[in-house]
Chain A
Amino acid sequence: MSASEKVRIGAIGRIAIIVGKELTDIVRDRRTMLITLLMAMAAGPIFLALILNMAANQAERARELRLPVDGAGNAPALIAFLERQQVAIVTAPPDYEARIRRGDLDVVLAIDADFEQSVAAGKPATVRLVYDRSRDRARAAIDSAEALLRAYNRQWGTQRLLLRGIAPQVASPLDVQGVDLATPQQSGALILFLVAYYGLFASLMGSIAVALDATAGERERGSLEPLLATPLSTLQLAVGKWLAIGAFDLLVVLLTLAGFYLTLNFAPLPAIGVPFLFGSAELVRFVAILLPLVMLLPAVLLYVGLRGRTLKEAQSNVSALVFVVSIVPVVQLFLQKKEPAWLLWVPVSSQYTLLTRALRGDVIAMADWLQSAALPLLLTAAALTAAARLLRREDVFAGR
């Protein structure tokens, strides 16, 4: 064969050849690929099902209120109203105050003996709701008992006004509407956290196995030395491998998010109010938010992997990275303070913050996204350059 049959190929052409070979290598590793992809697809729905079930049980308990009443016979109309609202009325034990203090009872409704007389005299009739508000567990029962009594009060008052020919609105100049700005510490936030966390985690887990195989694995097999004697720069090799790993990582992230999307939108979930939306708009936002990480993490893994003489060594190096990525959102969840503004610069942390914002239905400002992407993009370039430099080292490429 003469030299004239060779065509001159540029950097892009060589990188494309490397990407093609690396992707073939990834796809051929059936077991690793299937495990990674199946985990990505299944984990989201499984976790969601568990959490939603738990939440549904709690909601069920709140709805099925058992209300011990002291003096039920004093206000038969009120009791009838409560029973119509699916409240199970039971007779309160005589020592109910002590029991509430001990935490055996959540809430007790005590109706005064002169209830009927007060009503007849046109005076406000007294009912007492006895509880211990310091008990978290009791809060749902207290809140619903209060709401029911308020509703009864309103209904009764409205009827009186109507009887006197007055529009009920006259008596309620204030229209109070609850706007729940639930922060992650509050109810339902666990699901919110989980979806954001899992999306984040997928961008790391998706690339570990393939990145290490393409780096430490290649060192271990001793295929780097002859490869680097071909007309190929180490930067081209690093970029080619990074693109292949990144493409696979993106696939894992997309599958994970698709799992959440399909579960939340089409699965027969227990009927509870999920405190956020995860529709196609959120799906797109999620992918956009995670994109900087899908670039950064494979680049970092490439560098860390190349530092390992063997697959095993590289795996233990990577566990530090896994620890950091998995702990950051948890720390943020438990730091119940408002996040400082600089946090949006920090990789992983900024992505987590934006993900939770997207879940709450906020539109992500371009400026915020750019801020969250700035450092990951710089670090990606740095990691790729460092990886290329490592590949030039004799002890790295000649490892056997």
Chain B
Amino acid sequence: MIVVDGLVKTFGKRGEIRAVDGATFSADDAAITGLLGPNGAGKTTLLRMLATLIPPDAGFASIDGLDIVRERDGVRGRIGVLSDARGLYARLTARENVRYYGRLHGLGGTALEARIDALLGQLGLAALADRRTQGFSQGEKMKVAIARALVHDPATIMLDEPTSGLDVMSIRGLREQLFALRAAGKCILLSTHVMQEVALLCDRIVILGHGRVQAAGTGAELLTRTGEASLEDAFVRLLGSAEGLAA
């Protein structure tokens, strides 16, 4: 469960750029929450604050009741992050990449190895497990990055533009993964600027524009509120324009 209340992050010498400007929303367990907004709406900054990578300037957020600032280490142990940057260590094998993160989370021994095998198996990477990631395709690299983010079985999973740079088959595979994680009761928050992605994937949609939440709800709720017939039209109406979005 993620709770975000009035989160603010500013940049620039006098804080003149308000990347996130009082965002408030929540994301439930066993649900996929989509953070939709055009490029520059503050999605990545918001996710980085929730991942405890940068401190907020004002406001409050918690993950499973743990404050992202004061209980940072506790939060880090409970979240799996597929960040904007998702580079792997090219000279390490897929297994070693995942193992490194597992060990940093305090896992080890046969339990860790079994977990890695299970994850790589689910992602269809079993055959590549002990190959160096040097020559992996984009899709294969993404799968290793997902396995790495999930190795400690986090209750909360955050993904920043997870489908960018992926081919259709990989996107379909990712979608299956996310549905499986939702079925396992995880709280999943993903950001995207692709309207169709939220429509297909998300149980709840949080629309972010200019660092603020413009609207939030299920797809049906957003349709009734705007009186539009399609979700795409609803998004455009709520954001005021379609600029920076992709169909």
Contacts and interface: CB of A to CB of B under 8 A. Distances in A.
Nearest to A16: B103
A394 B54 contact: yes
Nearest to B112: A5
A23 to B, nearest CB: 12
B89 A226 contact: no
Contacts of A9: 106
Contacts of A227: 101, 104
B21 to A, nearest CB: 17
A174 interface: no
A53 B86 CA distance: 55
B82 A226 contact: yes
B152 A226 contact: no
B77 interface: yes
A1 B83 contact: no
B85 A231 contact: no
B85 A225 contact: yes
A229 B145 contact: no
A35 interface: no
Interface in A230-253: 230-232
B92 A229 contact: no
Given A230-B105, A231-B104, A6 B77 contact: yes
A263 to B, nearest CB: 34
For the side of the interface on A, what is the size category? 20 to 34
A21 interface: yes
Interface in B50-66: 51-54
Interface residues of B, number: 38
A228 B85 contact: no
Interface stretch (A199-207, A216-224, A375-383): A216-224
A273 B100 CA distance: 55
Contacts of B145: 226
A25 B89 contact: yes
B185 interface: no
A6 B78 CA distance: 12
Contacts of A399: 85
B105 A229 contact: no
A313 interface: no
B96 interface: yes
20 contacts: A1-B152, A3-B153, A6-B152, A7-B107, A17-B104, A221-B89, A222-B87, A223-B86, A223-B88, A223-B89, A225-B84, A226-B86, A227-B104, A229-B52, A229-B53, A229-B83, A230-B76, A230-B104, A232-B76, A398-B85
Shortest 4 CB-CB contacts between residues of A and residues of B: A222-B85, A222-B87, A221-B87, A223-B87
Given A21-B89, A226-B145, A394-B53, 15 more contacts: A6-B106, A7-B106, A7-B108, A24-B91, A25-B91, A28-B91, A218-B87, A221-B89, A226-B86, A226-B149, A229-B83, A394-B54, A397-B85, A398-B53, A398-B83
